[in-house]
Amino acid sequence: MDYKEKFVRLMLEAGVLKFGEFKTKSGRLSPYFINTGNYSTGRELKLLGEFYADLIMDKLKDKVDFLYGPAYKGIPLAAAVSIALYNKYNIEMPYCFNRKEAKDHGEGGVIVAYQPKDGDRALIIEDVITAGTSVRESVPILKAKADVHIGSMVISVDRMEKGYNGKTAISEVKEEFNIDTYPIVSVKDIIEILYNKEIDGKIIMNDAIKASIEAYMAEYCVTE
């Protein structure tokens, strides 16, 4: 079993990957949904953090100074990844996240935990990217704090969806902000791993589910 299949199995076990009809942040009705808010145990967060950490070490080693998790789902993700990098690779990687509302007492501010400095290289830790909305919110928050370089983002799943200009959201984020996005798996990987295959004695993705996902992709995704 390769790491992609292991990751898809983890999403299923935790109830993070579901099939049905769901309204996404972009307003589209999707036949599947990725909800990292359903990771709810120490074991699940440990494994999740390790998947992200492995990808970071493979693609971005020595290119990151701190992790940024956009509120709310990015908060436990960034914390889990920071812990995994330390436990598995002995790398002490700072992390931070934003408040939804600025604190007006004490030290105040929007950024919690590590305080970015000019010249720092930020890595955004996200769950999925659909239309790139979260990135467009995160960049000005970080830039308002310090003159940081935001060159990369790691996500659980690449939904391969079109953003605002007909290209994939990942392509648009690259063009608009010069941010490279690294997914653990893509929706095409999920289809390949699950279609008509038994997992724990059950077919998770049958012909009907596969057809609904492919119809959605034909309308909203860029698959080439």
Please give the positions annotated as active site.
103, 105
SS3 of residue 118 by DSSP: coil
124 with 138: CB under 8 angstroms? yes
Angle 223-26-176 from CA coordinates, rounded to 5°: 70
For residue 24, how many other CB atoms are within 10 A of its CB?
18
96 with 114: CB under 8 angstroms? yes
User: DSSP letters along 179-199, please?
Assistant: -EEEEEEEHHHHHHHHBT-EE
SS3 of residue 88 by DSSP: helix
Bridge partners of 195, per DSSP, are: 205
State how far the Cα of 209 lies from the Cα of 158, in Å rounded to an integer.
18
DSSP secondary structure code for residue 116 in this structure:
-
H or E element at residue 110: strand 109-113
SS3 of residue 45 by DSSP: helix
